[in-house]
Amino acid sequence: SQQGEEDPQALSIQEGENATMNCSYKTSINNLQWYRQNSGRGLVHLILIRSNEREKHSGRLRVTLDTSKKSSSLLITASRAADTASYFCATDQAGNNRKLIWGLGTSLAVNP
Amino acid sequence: DAMVIQNPRYQVTQFGKPVTLSCSQTLNHNVMYWYQQKSSQAPKLLFHYYDKDFNNEADTPDNFQSRRPNTSFCFLDIRSPGLGDAAMYLCATSRVAGQGLPSLFFGPGTRLTVL
């Protein structure tokens, strides 16, 4: 089942620009995870942020979490053509161990 | 390198002809998942194994079954594939211990075509 909603559904930017994707969810969570999926490939884990954390960085990626608004954002700075992919958020619901609830994804196109 | 391997990468079958997809992992993770993903959609969980404990999602068709003969291997059997079963099938693993679900490691997927 899907509980996450992501916006925008699709995003097209130029190389060097920043890309921001948002994810909203409905119930209390243990953590929220972001994944990337290149066309026709498996998903790759990017960042996990716990419910007691507000911000996390990994290289050019910055993730924020606002549990009061039940939302998260993924910022990719100085984007590159290689960042072209679909990005999914997934939540680990409190009390529902062992499976993630997935958002619908944002398709990012970075134009050279 | 530790990884999740799926075979075959591409599978073509005929309508109604049984097919088996395989997944193996060298990560020694205790949980293995099978997801179905159709074009431009989010992955949809079919079932997962927590060690040997099998957990089926309520909306997974009876047509889909799974086996996990040991920690390293997991199989997805589609007994009578229909045209609607054409999709990417993703295997993923995780090491779950206590509260909270850590990140998942995904295989490259098997693209199933049903003729």
- Chain A residue numbers touching B29 (CB-CB < 8 A): none
In one-letter notation, the amino acid at residue A7 is D
The model's pLDDT over A49-64, given as tens digits with 9 standing for 90+, comes to 999 999 999 999 999 9
Report domain extents, chain A: 5-111
Distance, CA of A49 to CA of A70 (rounded, Å): 13
Closest chain A residue to the Cα of B31, Cα to Cα: A98
pLDDT at residue number A2: 44
Distance, CA of B101 to CA of A44 (rounded, Å): 16
The model's pLDDT over A70-91, given as tens digits with 9 standing for 90+, comes to 999 999 999 999 999 999 999 9
What is the maximal distance between C-alpha atoms in chain B?
44
- Chain B residue numbers touching A91 (CB-CB < 8 A): none
One CATH from 3.30.465.10, 3.30.390.50, 2.60.40.10, 3.40.50.720 for B4-114? 2.60.40.10
Q: Are the beta carbons of A30 and B99 separated by less than 8 Å?
A: yes
Closest chain B residue to the Cα of A38, Cα to Cα: B108
Concatenated DSSP letters of B64-101: EEEE-SSSSEEEEEESS--GGG-EEEEEEEE---SSS-
Q: Are the beta carbons of A42 and B31 separated by less than 8 Å?
A: no
pLDDT at residue number A76: 98
Residue B106 has pLDDT above 60, yes or no: yes
Q: Are the beta carbons of B43 and A30 separated by less than 8 Å?
A: no
Could you tell me the CATH superfamily of domain A5-111? Immunoglobulins (2.60.40.10)
